[in-house]
Each structure stands twice: as C-alpha cells, then as structure tokens.
Amino acid sequence: SLLARQYSEKINAQPFEDRVAALRRKLDTTSTDFTDVISLKATSGGFEVLAALLGDESSAVRLNAAEAMIRRVYRMFPEFKVELTDSGPSNISCKYSFQYPDVPIDGQPVARQGYSRCVSSVDEIEKVLSELIPLTEDGRQANVMSVIVAPMAFKSDKLSFYSTDEEFKGYIKKTEDLLRKNSAALQAAGVRKFSLMMAQAPHVPRYATFLLEGNWAELESCRDMRPTYQHLLEIARLDQDYELKRIVPTVGRSSQVFLGTKRGEAKGKQGPPRTVFAHTITHSLKMSTDDAEGWMDWPESLVLSAVDELERARLNADIGSKPNSHIFAHFNSLVDLEPSVVVERLEHFMNTFVAKHGNRLQKSKVDEIVVKLGIGSVSRGRTHTLRLTASSMTGEYLKTTSCFEQVDSLTGRPVRWLDARTGGELGKEDPVVGRMQVKRSTARA
C-alpha cells in the first residue's frame, strides 16, 4: 500500500516544467511573500523547483528563489536575517544570521552566521573557497557555509535520484580535499560546518555535509539530508551512540530512517542489539485553548507516517523482523499556551495514540516514541522545549514521561532535562536501557 501511494502521488503530480513555471510566476515580483512561498508543498516550492530557477534570466526571480531556499532551510530558526547579492545567473551570494531553535542551558543563544554561494559548476567550488569568506569569527566556531551547484550539477543521466551516485561520490572526495586545503581560511571565518547541495532536476538535490571536528570528512549519516536536519532530527546525538546505516528510500522527504548498532555494546547470543530509527519533522502544530482534541489529528498523522517508514524499512533484507524500533517526531514550531497545559495535552495525545494504534506499534516492535516541540511565541521567543517520551525501555510498555530540555549553547545538543511537572533535574539515560533492549530483542526473536 505504501508503494501504491507513492506511485499514485508520482503519476498525479504536475510535470516538473509546469511546476517550475508556476513558481516562477510567483517569484517574478519585487514584493515576494516568503511566508507563503516557504509554506508551499514540496512538489510546488521544494528545493528541486527552487534550484531550477537559480539560473533564471530575471534577477528578481533568481534572487527570490535563492532567498526562499535559504529561508526554507532555516524555517522557524529565531533571529533569522538574510542579505543577497546578485552577480548574474547561478552567481548569487547569500549572507545570513540565525540562532538554533532551542533553550540553551546558560540562557544565552549563540548568534550564528552563514554564507552560501550559488555557482553553475562544481569546478567553481575551488574558486569560492579561495575567496574571502565574509563571516566574523568570535572564537566559538559557530558559523556555517554552503555551496549550491544549480540549476544542473551533474553530467550523469537523471533516470532516478540515485543515478548520480558515482559522480556524486567523486565530487564529495574532491570537496573534502578542497576543504582541508582551505581549512585555515574556513576556521578564520568561524566556519564549523560546510554543506554541498547539487541540483539534479527533476529529482530532489543531493546533499553532503562536512564538519571541522571531523577534519572536513563527509558526515555520511547526513548524506542527502538538508544541512539543518543533523540538528533538528538529532542525527548528531544518534551518531554519537550508534553506528548508523541509512535506509533508503523513505516514504516522505521529511523523514530519515536508520539501522543503528549500539556502540560498545556486548554482542550477546543474538549479536549486538540493533534498533531501527524513524525520525521525522514538521514545522506546524496548532494547539489552542478552545480545541481540546481536534488538534491531535495532525500529530497522529505525523507519528503514523513514522510507523509507515518502519513498516517499509523492514522490507529491507538488512533489517528484517528482529530489531526493535524507535520513533522521533519533531514539531519545530511554537505553541503559545501555558507549559502545564501543553504537557497535559501532549501526554493525553500520546496515551490515546498508543491505545488506538497499539497493534501496529507492537508489530513494528516500537519500544520508544519521542515527541519534541517548542513552547512560546514569536514575540517572546521559545521559553521551553518539551520532550515527551513513551518508552518500554524500563519494562513498562510505552510509559509516558515529560521533561523540559536544555541544550549546549554551542553544539545545540541536549545536555539537561527537567521534570515537566516537578522541575526536578533528571539524569541521563539509565544504564538498564541497554540490558532491557537485549532482553526484549531476545524475547521477540
């Protein structure tokens, strides 16, 4: 049924050229409503459609396409500002600033800067890196940089998304070498992360991420993932604890699925414990004081889409039926209600969801569901990050707990959790979890 749904969506979609033309008409103006543009469905205003317009003959169109692309990447990131310079088709510079959408443990969000360059050929990356990078280093290495090769980056045939695999791997290796060669200049500009985006219309672009802390080696766990997903989907945290293998393709483009093997874990009779992770994100959640349960339809749909991802992933021969499963759903938006009200409603949602869909969850061997969302408003900013977890890892089936999460201000990784009801500080993951996972895997084998 999942394959049938995807096939139906593909054959019912407008031709790519028509979608590009429709978006071009919307962007051919000097007063673009970017809130409207970045809210378009991916098929109408996604990165593959925007990238096709970066080489447009109209300065207004290509500048608006570039700004919409950057705004789409950093959607719901606080204090976002952007300035663009147009030097011709596929020759656009974007300088921007932003903060992570989190609550830092020290209460002081790090002001970050970014610089993106659009070029027409991958051969221009070397020239871009040799030029002065217009970013300010404040001693924390918190800045980001990216190069966008568009509207067409590859020479290979575009029969499918993965037709460019071998060519892309070659470009990744070349980019690693160039980044290491220019590491001093990147560090002088405070660059911590470099991203490469390569357009391949009509398919979604290819992405690669490179980190200073890894000596500019590509972060393979984030391949073909927009650069902010490493943070928003907590891939960095997952990569720290597990050896990850991405499972592709996924049902939705806002989802990522991994097979994780716990690092340093004893193998046991069944081998090292493995878990299938389905991580997904949305930028909207409407919860109001006069809507007790109607708001739950969208969270239910999103978490069920993660279950869809798990069911499809188990068709992969490398996974099969044995590994347990975890779901992570991030609502990267702000709910403007009292924290206690949000906690109560989200716990009610999760308990209702588990009771309603228990059979599917058990068939998919779901041991943990995490839902993360922001509390606050645009004017006040984010006051709390709520992390609700339904977990079986301590013995009781999908027991619900809620906490308020705080992050390291520089890395953005969660480092502190406070009980959402008592305010008491909670410890890190209980060591019983690993043993419990082995026991559950053995019982299900």
Residue 9 has pLDDT above 60, yes or no: no
CA dist 229 and 218 (Å) reads 15
pTM (two decimals): 0.91
CA dist 180 and 297 (Å) reads 48
Q: What percent of the chain is predicted at pLDDT more than 90?
A: 80
Beta bridge partners of 143: 191
Tokens 């909207």 appear where?
284
Contact 28, 58 (CB under 8 A): yes
CA dist 146 and 85 (Å) reads 15
From 196, 201, 203, select the one nearest 222 (Cα to Cα): 196
From 67, 73, 61, select the one nearest 26 (Cα to Cα): 61
Mean pLDDT, the chain, rounded, equals 91
Q: Which of 102-116, 209-223, 340-354, 425-439 has the lowest mean pLDDT?
A: 425-439
**What average pLDDT score do residues 354-369 get?**
96
CA dist 163 and 417 (Å) reads 44
Question: Residue 289 has what pLDDT?
Answer: 73
Residues 6+ apart with CB under 8 A from 368: 326, 327, 389, 390, 391, 392, 393, 398
Beta bridge partners of 368: 326, 391
Residue 173 has pLDDT above 50, yes or no: yes
What are residue 313's phi and psi, to 5 degrees? -60, -35
Residue type, 361: L
**β 324-335/274-282 pair status:** parallel
Contact 280, 255 (CB under 8 A): yes
CA dist 104 and 416 (Å) reads 9
Dump pLDDT digits (tens) for 73-132. Answer: 999 999 999 999 999 999 999 999 999 999 999 888 999 999 999 999 999 999 999 999
Four-point Cα dihedral 258, 240, 422, 398, nearest 10? 30
For residue 396, give Cα distances in angstroms to 107, 352, 380, 399, 429. 35, 16, 38, 6, 16
Residues 6+ apart with CB under 8 A from 153: 121, 122, 198, 199, 200, 205, 206
CA dist 177 and 322 (Å) reads 40
